[in-house]
Amino acid sequence: MSARVATATPAPGSMRAELERFAQWLATRNYSPYTIEQRRTAIGAFIAWAALRGVERPQDVTRPILERYQRHLFHHRKVDGAPLTFRTQATRLTPIRAYFKWLARERLVLFNPAADLELPRGEKRLPANILSPDEVETILAGPDPATPQGLRDRAILEVLYATAIRRLELIRLSVFDVDYARKLIVVRKGKGNKDRIVPTGARALSWIAAYRDEARPQLVCGADDGTLFLTGKGQAIAPKKLTGRVGAYVAAAGLSKTGSCHLFRHTAATLMLENGADIRFIQAMLGHESLDTTQIYAQVGVAKLAAVHAATHPGAMLKRPDLAGEIDPDEEQD
């Protein structure tokens, strides 16, 4: 059994060599660099796993091998001992299916062993935490606007809250993507490599303008490529760095709620729905291709449902206050 996982120059005809060709093919089909890197990582993990078991050529991969790898993902445990979520498992398997579909199309394998590979059923989980408006204000007050980084961070938090855009979408914003007159922000190459326009508020725009005029000039180093939010070295913020920074402000607020960039996305969508926004408008704002994805917020935003329940359900109105808290001992309890 070969223990070789990767070499500087992949052997011709090996899965790793064909992976590079697959990545180039994706680039010619206008897939985003982020998507290509994500697929390269997922497929590379499978190639490394297969190489440790003596399987290095795509022609040697069979359906049972792929099913064995799927079981490997199911039983895998992270550093903290937690299993991979079914969504993560599906995310790691989907690129592998696309890879073998491409290999079959290129006639590099006689048949596609992943053609009938079933992915784990999707999970429809509610967001772990949703912030109240007061809690949001507490977090927004965290950065120190007297410093360039603090002013930048306040503008970032305001944009996340006002627009509900994704982490990568914020990182890719350009100074030219903000339309101050129309109160709009252009999101370029969002999820699915699609552009969209999202509204924003006057307060967020004022913080962006303050950062642009006062802090950003101090952060620019060398040539300015127009990236809106910069690090102290004049570069775009790395995704993990942004997650850590936003998460630190959430933790520092002492709200007993965890989260980072996506916490603001969930919160904005939920609060808008509770305040009367049509779910289709929220779908357009979030950039969801399917309304089914947006429907999760209809389950979270229950404030109006609770009010209707309290006003209309006979059992919600206690007619005898003296019985509050009393339970019939003979009544069967669930």
Catalytic residues: 166, 191, 262, 265, 288, 297
Q: Where are the beta strands (DSSP E) in 283-325?
A: none
Residues 274 and 54: their CA atoms lie apart, in Å, by 56
Kindly list the distances between the CA atom of residue 269 and the CA atoms of 163, 211, 275, 281, in Å, as whole numbers in the listed order.
Answer: 9, 25, 10, 10
Amino acid identity, residue 189?
K
Residues 89 and 123: their CA atoms lie apart, in Å, by 11
Residues 202 and 207: their CA atoms lie apart, in Å, by 9
Closest CA to 117 of 53, 51, 47, 69: 69
User: How many other CB atoms are found less than 10 A from the CB of residue 40?
Assistant: 17
SS percent in the chain: helix, strand, coil, step 5: 55, 5, 40
Find where tokens 């990582």 sit. 41
Burial of 142 (C-beta count, 10 Å sphere; 0-12/13-18/19+) = middle
